[in-house]
Chain A
Amino acid sequence: AQTVTQSQPEMSVQEAETVTLSCTYDTSESDYYLFWYKQPPSRQMILVIRQEAYKQQNATENRFSVNFQKAAKSFSLKISDSQLGDAAMYFCAYRAPSFGNEKLTFGTGTRLTIIP
C-alpha cells in the first residue's frame, strides 16, 4: 500500500522569507500524481500544486514550487516570499493513476506559522 510521510509536524518562517516543507512517499508504481493541499483555519482544502510523476520538470505555481525527486521518492514544497495568508496546515498527497483507484492518500500534515 502507498504511504505518505511528512516528518515536520510544525514549521515556522519569517514573513517574506522562504520555507520548504518535506514529503516522502512509498509506492511501487512508476506513474502517479502528487499534490500539495493547504488547509487554512476555515478547514477548506485548497489545491496548491500538482505534479505528474512522468514529468521531469518540477511544477511551479507563482510563489509555490516543488522539488520532485522520483528516485528518492521525495516531493518537497517550497514557498517563496512567505505571506501571512500562507499560514495553514499543508498536506502532501499521493494518487495512483489507475482508473477506479483515484483516491488520495494523505500525509499527516505540517502546520506552517508565518511570523510577522
Chain B
Amino acid sequence: GAVVSQHPSWVICKSGTSVKIECRSLDFQATTMFWYRQFPKQSLMLMATSNEGSKATYEQGVEKDKFLINHASLTLSTLTVTSAHPEDSSFYICSALHPDIPGNTIYFGEGSWLTVV
C-alpha cells in the first residue's frame, strides 16, 4: 500500500514549550490529510482536516490556536502543539487521502507519542 511517514515517533517536551510533528506522503501527492488523537484503549478522535494551500478545518472542541496545522505542500502536513501541557500527552496519528486509489483510500502514518513533562 501507499506510504505515509510520521516524524518523530516519540517526543518529550517540557510544559510551556511547543512541539512539531510532521506527516509526509512518500509516494503520492495528498491534497488532504487528517490529524487524529488517540487516548489509551480508545478509538481515534479526528482533530482536524488539513487541506493543501488552505486553512485546516477543525473538529468541534479542538482548539485551533493550540493545535496549529500547516499543509504547505502536497506531501507534507505539520501539527504543532503550542504551549504544551501534560494533558496534551497522547498518541497523535496522521493520515493522507490517496487521490488515485479507488475509493480514495486513506493511509495512516506510524503515529507519534507525545509526552509533556
Chain A residues within 8 Å of B, Cβ to Cβ: 33, 35, 37, 42-47, 50, 52, 91, 95, 102-104, 106-109
Write the chain B residue with the least CB distance to A37: B108
11 other A-B residue contacts (CB within 8 Å) besides A42-B110, A50-B105, A106-B44: A43-B93, A45-B95, A45-B111, A91-B44, A95-B103, A102-B49, A104-B44, A106-B43, A108-B43, A109-B42, A109-B43
Chain B, residues 3-21, CB within 8 Å of chain A (1/0): the string is 0000000000000000000
Write the chain B residue with the least CB distance to A107: B43
* Complex partner residue of A102 from B44, B97, B108, CB under 8 angstroms: B97
Label chain B's interface by main secondary structure.
strand
Q: Which residues of A lie under 8 Å from residue B110 when comparing CB positions?
A: 42-44
* Complex partner residue of B103 from A37, A44, A52, CB under 8 angstroms: A52
Label chain A's interface by main secondary structure.
strand
